[in-house]
Structure 1
Amino acid sequence: MSHRTKYWMLCALAFGASALAGVIIGKTVPAGGASGNAALLFPLLLGVCGLVMAAGWLWWRNTDDLQQQGQLISWYWGGTFGALAMLVYLAVFFGRHSDLSLGATYLFFAQVGGFFIVWLVWRLRGRGQSE
């Protein structure tokens, strides 16, 4: 199997795992209100998300440095600008304290927290000095 074929198969695996996780979460989490088994369901679904990340990691390990840099820059700058633009849109059209605006704000804070944790691990491993 060629490297290119393996790369695209792993890419399809990552997208397929994401779609499957979406279906699983959509079928197990009620549309309105909390789940009756939230204390059990939350760690289970975090495990499903971990499997999605593992599938994405397989793809990531098969990309070269140039592709990785393109992905990192696109996700950081594009994702950050897109999130901020959506926060402004939701606040303007639905109000700052609407459920939609607050949910998006919480998601943005979770992204910032995740970024900070990964950056801190990267820094503590001494990668910042060698790169």
Structure 2
Amino acid sequence: MHDLTIKIFGTTYILNRERNQMDKKVSRVELEYGLRSLRRKRMFLWVMIGIYLPMIWIVIDISGSDKITGIYFGFWLVFVTIAANVTAFARCPSCKNLFHMNGVFPMYFRNCLHCGLHISGEENKNKFE
């Protein structure tokens, strides 16, 4: 089976990957590096979501203009969309499937939707074991 690779904004995505990746053992260093990357992406997403209300309040308070507020909202929306997509299409370091997606819609749970790996990497918090 051939893999289809797509490169978007410097990130390479591999489609049609074989699903027997669970049999391959991932080293603890690779697992920690992958989980750290996942946690960083999730934190950026939640910070972008949390910034919304204070940002809009400050922009309205300083400018008093709906047009300027709309411009700031547009920039925020672009950044949140990018952060949500980067987080949604992040791969699990253990099973190499998409960590937050098991279908069409992303579900930002703390466990991998395929292998059950917890975002903290602690064995006792894994979902399917």
Is TM > 0.5 for Structure 1 vs Structure 2? no
| TM-score, normalised via structure 1 length | 0.38
Which has a greater percent of strand? 2
Which has a greater percent of helix? 1
| TM-score, normalised via structure 2 length | 0.39
